[in-house]
Structure 1
Amino acid sequence: MKGGSLVTVPFLLLRHELRLLASLWLWTARRTHGAADGSAVFGYARGQGAMMFGFAFVCVVESVGMSVLLRDWPAVHHVVLVLDVYTVVLVVGLHAASVVRPHVLDPASGVLRIRRAVHVDVRIPLERISSVRRELRATHEPRNGELNLAVGARTSVTVELAEPVTHVSFLGRHREVRVVRCHADDAGGLVRAVNRAREGHAVP
């Protein structure tokens, strides 16, 4: 492990959890992160809502079961209960982050932001997009230069770039990507909006 990594990784994990908690607040307040006036937002969380709340329900059931099993060990019971409750909060926070951090198209700045909860935020200048299309995929093989952001194991929009953009991973690793695949609840609407915005930024 390189020098500084021992400090960097805990910092990244802490920042990640703080962003999830902030997303819960934004979700409660019905606010959207990173959407300026005049920009268009495209959600992608609809397809994962049932799965995420199902996972949260399983965590709640597990917490109840552990409470029963550990009722004769109060100290251990209290520690496990706190951890279980925090896990449920983080699961709900993950879904909240997907809701309040949608894809954002800002024609004024000429940038398309493709996002996935608090983990991914790729900024794509419109002039670098060579094509964007609606394409439903359920399988994704890892390939160099491609970024697949599946929701519910599927993507519905493919963006191909004339010039690469930099994707920064959760742990801070940089890599260049020329193809970005993502999911949008209104995939057709996203594709049409991007194409209109590209036409508006076309060089005469």
Structure 2
Amino acid sequence: MRTAYVLVRHELRLLTSLAMWVARRTHGADGGRVFGYARGQGAVVFGIAFVCLVETLTMSVLLRDYPAVHQGVLVLDVYTIVFVVGVHAASVVRPHVLGADVLRIRRAVHVDLRIPVDRIASVRRELRTTHTRAPGELDVAVGARTTVTLELAEPVAHFTFLGRRHEIRLVRFHADDADSLVQTLVQVLAPAVTQVRSAPWPMQDRPG
């Protein structure tokens, strides 16, 4: 029952994302600064959608003498095209968002990780095209690559598609303009770092 609910919610979010994409709206920005990540996958996504369209037309010709089968296959083919385009639409309308206190890292409707800014220990520009799963790490890759790496001072909770909880201390993700995102995060983190470094040392007893 739980799985069915998650799947239905997932499909509804994809359809909502399609509508928002057509209307050129952004989900969950809330006045924060947005950083996209879908630019690099657009050509691949539409290439897949085109292949699905060709398959749909081909099957319509092959099954024209079997109307019942044709209708069933047509529904599946159209659903596949909508699903593929919907995933891309969700990636466009649900960008990463940097607010005053929280960095929100997203991937379509599958990942939505909120990281309090004060838990970020370090951020760096790092291109990776291969990733190995490890406890406490999360890779939010786009096109099999990540471009930004965050190390956290304290773990944050990440929930998988089916609701399983993981404690995350290191996050790798992709941003189209990774340099700008890293620079902005460094500027946000700099006051806190300066404050710590400039804090007075505790008084020590002098030898008598």
TM-score category of the 2 structures, normalised to the smaller one: over 0.9
SS at 2:157's partner residue? strand
Residue of structure 1 aligned with 2:7, choices 13, 22, 44? 13
Structure 1: where are the runs of 5+ without partners?
Answer: 1-6
The offset of 1:199, in angstroms, is 2.9
Deviation sequence 1:43-101 (CA, Å, 0-9, x none)? 00001101111111111111111111111111111111111111101110000000000
Matched, 1:89 2:88: no
Q: Provide the aligned C-alpha RMSD in A.
A: 1.1
Residue of structure 2 aligned with 1:175, choices 166, 183, 203? 166
Q: Which amino acid aligns with 2:107?
A: R
Identity of aligned residues (%): 66
- Using the size of structure 1 for normalisation, the TM-score is 0.93
Which structure is larger by alpha-carbon Rg, 1 or 2? Answer: 2
- Using the size of structure 2 for normalisation, the TM-score is 0.91
Q: In the alignment, which residue of structure 1 is the partner of 2:62?
A: 69
Once residues 199 and 26 of structure 1 are traced to their aligned partners in structure 2, the CA distance between those partners, rounded to angstroms, is 35
The offset of 1:203, in angstroms, is 8.3
Deviation sequence 1:74-130 (CA, Å, 0-9, x none)? 1111111111111101110000000000000002xx000000000000000011000
Q: In the alignment, which residue of structure 1 is the partner of 2:138?
A: 147
Deviation sequence 1:158-198 (CA, Å, 0-9, x none)? 01001000110001100001010000000010011112122
Q: In the alignment, which residue of structure 2 is the partner of 1:59?
A: 52
SS at 1:142's partner residue? coil
Deviation sequence 1:4-45 (CA, Å, 0-9, x none)? xxx0001101100100000001101111000012x1000000
Number of positions where the alignment pairs a residue of Structure 1 with one of Structure 2: 195
Once residues 201 and 75 of structure 1 are traced to their aligned partners in structure 2, the CA distance between those partners, rounded to angstroms, is 66
SS at 2:163's partner residue? coil
Kept in 2: contact 1:126–1:201 (CA 8 A): no
Q: In the alignment, which residue of structure 2 is the partner of 1:26?
A: 20
Once residues 31 and 203 of structure 1 are traced to their aligned partners in structure 2, the CA distance between those partners, rounded to angstroms, is 37
Q: Which amino acid aligns with 2:62?
A: L
Q: Which amino acid aligns with 2:20?
A: L
Q: In the alignment, which residue of structure 1 is the partner of 2:186?
A: 195
Q: In the alignment, which residue of structure 2 is the partner of 1:122?
A: 113
Q: In the alignment, which residue of structure 1 is the partner of 2:199?
A: none
